[in-house]
Amino acid sequence: MDNHTSMFLLWEFSKIWELQIMYAALLLILYLMTVTGNLLIISAVGFDRHLHSPMYFFVMNLAMQDIGSVSVIVPRAVLNSVMNIRHISYSECVAQVLFFVFFLGSDVALLTVMAYDRYVAICNPLQYEMIMNRKSCTKMIGSVWIASFVNAALHTIATFTAPFCSNIINQFYCEIPHLLKIICSGLYVIEFGILVFTAILVIGCFFFIVHTYVQIFSAVLRIPSVQGRKKAFSTCLPHFIVITVFLFTACFANLRSKSDNPSHLDFVITIMYSIIPPMLNPLIYSMRNKDMKVALSRFLGLRAFIF
């Protein structure tokens, strides 16, 4: 098989059509919950002028990226299950890799930027408006999107440059680690190098976030007022939880060896890191945030938001 194959064969959830429909229904429910929650966050931030601040601007961008990441992989998987097919065209597979890596990389970069935003707000509050002004925030978001797209393009080009010795992908979408397993032996050196480079960048972001939050929590503990400490923690805690969920699920999924015979456990693990974090993010950001609750209640036409 050469690199000009017209299609790949994705993992089949089950030989039993009824079970495939069950899997499709589960994916569709999770997808609709993720899209609905993130659209509510985007709408609340966009329509409520009280949320027109750097922190919520970044939250809105994170919501857009989360919608993008699940939309790249879930609708196609649901369609395949309902129609009882496995194939995905070569061009669709390329597009899936490009955009999924793009949105995933954007999440990592944006969470790092959001950590810096919280650091400036807590540790340097007097200069916050000057440092995190509209122009700076726009440049940061632009840099996140551009750098993430370049990174995704490099991964995609390196992955699909080498010839494939099989067209069977043991995953319900085109995922790079599974694509590397079907590349002819010894011909994915370039992509391996890019993966190592990306891993170094991700680890660098992780240590930056950890260092930032050590300084943030140290500064918060020095605040004399109990109310002040509580308010500072409430603005940082959602972001910290989002980072923890994202890193835990991603590490758990990627440190586990890729099986040649995928099981239902592999399916659950894939959902854990590709769908669950984007689904939980709106809940995390709205649950302990009074301003977000008020904005959502106004947008939905409710007099009170009860949690």
pLDDT at residue 124 greater than cutoff 60: yes
Q: What is the pLDDT of residue 149?
A: 94
Distance CA(85)–CA(78), nearest Å, equals 10
Q: Helix (H, G, I), strand (E, B), or coil: what is residue 88? A: strand
Q: What are phi and psi of 87, to 5 degrees?
A: -80, 155
pLDDT at position 253, please? 64
Domain that holds residue 246: 7-300
Inside any domain, residue 17: yes
Whether 180 has a pLDDT exceeding 90, the answer reads: no
pLDDT above 80: residue 261: no
128 backbone dihedrals φ, ψ, rounded to 5°: -60, -50
> Is residue 259 very low, low, confident or very high in pLDDT (cuts 50, 70, 90)?
low
Is the pLDDT reported for residue 80 higher than 70?
yes
pLDDT (0 to 100) of residue 192: 72
Please state the domain count of the chain.
1
pLDDT of residue 234: 73
CATH (domain of 57): 1.20.1070.10
Tell me the C-alpha distance between 86 and 287, whole Å.
Answer: 39
Which long-range CB contacts under 8 A does 204-211 form with residues at least 24 apart? 205/108, 205/109, 205/111, 205/112, 206/247, 208/112, 208/115, 209/111, 209/112, 209/115, 209/243
Query: What is the pLDDT at residue 158?
Result: 84
Q: What mean pLDDT is predicted for residues 32-55?
A: 88
Q: Report if residue 240 sits inside a domain.
A: yes
Q: Is residue 306 part of a domain?
A: no
DSSP string, 19-49: HHHHHHHHHHHHHHHHHHHHHHHHHHHHH-G
Q: Is residue 305 part of a domain?
A: no
Could you tell me if residue 307 is inside a domain?
Answer: no
Are 209 and 232 spatial neighbours (Cβ–Cβ below 8 Å)?
A: no
pLDDT in tens, 209-234: 888 888 888 888 887 877 777 777 77
